[in-house]
Amino acid sequence: MGGVTEDVKDSFTKLGLAMAAAIAIVYLVLVITFGQGWAPFVILFSLPFAIIGALVALFIAGQTISVSTMIGALMLIGIVVTNAIVLIDRVIHKEREGLSTREALLEAGATRIRPILMTAIATIGALIPLAIGMEGSGLISKDLGVTVIGGLTSSTLLTLLIVPIVYEWMSKLRRKRFFKRKKSVTSEQIDHA
């Protein structure tokens, strides 16, 4: 009994480290891709919603947190971030075309809702047989299926609502800092003249 408990603790620790490493790698790749640090931060904002949804789904299904749920949570890191990337990338492109942040968010939300929902629904549909244990060995895969379905459902809905709000708030904050810095540089130039 003690050996099994140690193995489970060791597995949880390793999976927790793998999740932390996955988040760090995803952030690094996004920073390199976007060329800035704040947009990837907004994208990663969708991850807590996935964990909340996964825990609620496990509670509803009467499942406990296990190694397979941790593997499902690890999978969610990659799956969930994709939806936010699709949305925020479109917003950034529209801002570069001259739209305001609010207009870019509205346009991106209108044009990207269909692909985001299609990929989420397709993934959820593919995992339903796993979640209801149709393949025979439902012990491991049921937890994994429930975790991914719950996390993906909540994060998709909340990504479409919360991530745009966070993006707009961060954008306003960034603009305020830029104008403060510009104002202080201008006042220093006047003082030197």
pLDDT digits over 33-70, tens only? Answer: 888 888 888 888 888 888 888 999 989 988 888 888 88
Residue 101 · residue 48 · CB < 8 Å:
no
Q: What is the pLDDT of residues 115-174, one digit of tens each?
A: 889 988 998 998 888 888 765 555 567 888 899 999 999 988 888 888 888 888 888 888
- Mean pLDDT of the 86-93 span: 89
Whether residue 77 has pLDDT greater than 70: yes
Residue 170 confidence (pLDDT):
87
Measure the CA angle with vertex 51, ends 22 and 142; round to 5°.
Answer: 95
Q: How many CB atoms lie within 10 A of CB 19?
A: 18
- Taking the CA atoms of 174, 177, 178 and 179 in sequence, report the sign of the dihedral they define: positive
What's residue 140's pLDDT? 60
Give the pair of three-digit tokens for residue 147: 């975790």
